[in-house]
Structure 1
Amino acid sequence: MIPIKDDVPTRSFPLITLLLIGVNVGVFLHEMSLSDEELEIFVRTYGLLPLDLVHFNLLNFITHMFIHGNIAHIFGNMLFLWIFGNNVEDALGKFRFLILYFLSGFAAAILQSAVAILMGDINIPMVGASGAISGIIAAYGKLYPFARVYAVIPPFIFLIFALPAWFFIGYWFVIQVLSAMFIPTSLGGVAWYAHIGGFLAGWYLIDNLYPRAKKIVIYTR
């Protein structure tokens, strides 16, 4: 399912969400300016290799979140970040939103790296913001479970479906779990365990980052 928009208005300007999108797009434009050889060096230098987990390479735990493989990769990630991120930022505020984003990204990287080491896939670098964004998706699901997410469902690309957030996000998470079980990263090129790790982190963290008094209002929206 491809989200188009939701029906939750924001009360504040989504500055951090837009800044994150801007940095990701800026890095991707830089990638496009590189030759194939330069791009490979760039990804190997700033992407996250599984053994970076063992070597505690903190820099790459951050930089890999801002690198993307192709236009479809960055477009999909930024679309999800915009639709779900602006409302989560609105609820949490700027600073706590950043904490949620990066901690979810770290959790995603740790789980994906650990699984890759266990499976022997130690030479495949991980790039992309999807782990951090998965945490944002989970937080949105807890904060706005009954919001409507308007989405297209291939092959019915000319129809827009209004789906409750709990269904859209629950379906999305099930797909990540099933894909992790049956599609190895080395075959599909997608870090499924990063999505799962980021989602679980966001699901847990939102309860500790969001004031309980306000949470009640949003849950009963």
Structure 2
Amino acid sequence: MFNLSPVVRLLLFANVIVFFITSQMGDWAVDRFGLHSVLSEKFSPIQLLTHMFMHGGWTHIFSNMIGLIVFGPMLERVWGGPRFFLFYMLTGLGAAALYLGVNYYETSSLVDAYNMYRANPTNGEFVGFMSQYASSIYDRLAPFIQKFDADPTNPLYIKQGQAYVNAIVGAQVDTPMVGASGAIFGVIMAFGLLFPNTELILLFPPIPIKAKYLVLFYGLYEVYSGIYQAQSDNVAHFAHIGGMLFAYILVKLWGSQRKTFY
């Protein structure tokens, strides 16, 4: 059904094999090789590469690999295997860079507030932290806050408050990102730029659409979701945006040097 090119076949094989291996290793593999925030003690530079070959489940890897085998072969035939592989890796790294940058911007104040709270874990500091960084669960904590306020030196309440705060910080700082989505969105962007009028058939609904409009839709959706939904849908939208952004830069750069590689 799909006429896979050599590098696409290699990347497909690598992603599937790594997925099978790491799925047998459990959460340890994701925690070790998934991409953590630079503010996390679990961050390691090797994660910039390893996270690109890991996935969070069957649906995740299936959707990414479909994108690779649909859009990748034509790009590889235009650029050749080495340049396509370089493009894939650079867009994946670019996606990680933008994700980490946005993550740092969003969480640096959280970490600062966390450190201030650890130095003075009072009920007042707890209320201030939770109201600013965990407003969605603040109302559920009202009974605990009342008890803490009535007995502020109780070591059990102090410990419980610290546990709540640790959980909030851990969820935002220590939750790793995995997947090839950044590179795949880069591949989709490049396809739309090089073959803008190629008609594709959507799965749902099964209607034809030109590649340039598909890329435009994806781009606008990811920007909107990154700004308004990034904290609620557990998807690294800014990694997708980063992949598309770096793909645009590379395609335009290589296009200006067209005589040297076509």
Residue in 2 that maps onto 1:167: 213
Listed as ranges, the gaps of 5+ residues in structure 1 are none
Residue in 2 that maps onto 1:50: 37
Listed as ranges, the gaps of 5+ residues in structure 2 are 108-171
CA change 1:122–1:80 in 2 (3 A) is: same
Q: Among 73, 79, 85, which residue is 1:86 paired with?
A: 73
Report the CA distance between 1:176 and its aligned residue. Answer: 0.7
Q: Among 194, 197, 200, which residue is 1:143 paired with?
A: 194
The residue type equivalent to 1:163 in the other structure is: I
**In 1, are the aligned partners of 2:67 and 2:184 still within 8 Å (CA)?**
yes
Residue in 1 that maps onto 2:167: none
Separation (CA, whole Å) in 2 of partners of 1:23 and 1:174: 30
Report the CA distance between 1:55 and its aligned residue. Answer: 10
TM-score using structure 2 length: 0.69
Residue in 2 that maps onto 1:30: 21
Separation (CA, whole Å) in 1 of partners of 2:66 and 2:46: 26
Give the secondary-structure state (helix, strand or coil) at the position aligned to 1:188: coil
CA change 1:96–1:52 in 2 (3 A) is: farther
Separation (CA, whole Å) in 1 of partners of 2:250 and 2:223: 20
Report the CA distance between 1:31 and its aligned residue. Answer: 2.7
Residue in 2 that maps onto 1:95: 82
Residue in 2 that maps onto 1:59: 46
**In 1, are the aligned partners of 2:189 and 2:244 still within 8 Å (CA)?**
yes
Separation (CA, whole Å) in 1 of partners of 2:258 and 2:229: 39
TM-score using structure 1 length: 0.81
Task: Please state which structure has a larger fraction of its residues in helix.
Answer: 2
Q: Among 198, 208, 212, which residue is 2:253 paired with?
A: 208
The alignment covers a number of residue pairs equal to 197
Residue in 2 that maps onto 1:17: 8
Task: Please state which structure has a larger fraction of its residues in strand.
Answer: 1
Give the secondary-structure state (helix, strand or coil) at the position aligned to 2:221: helix
The yes-or-no answer on 1:134 pairing with 2:156 is: no
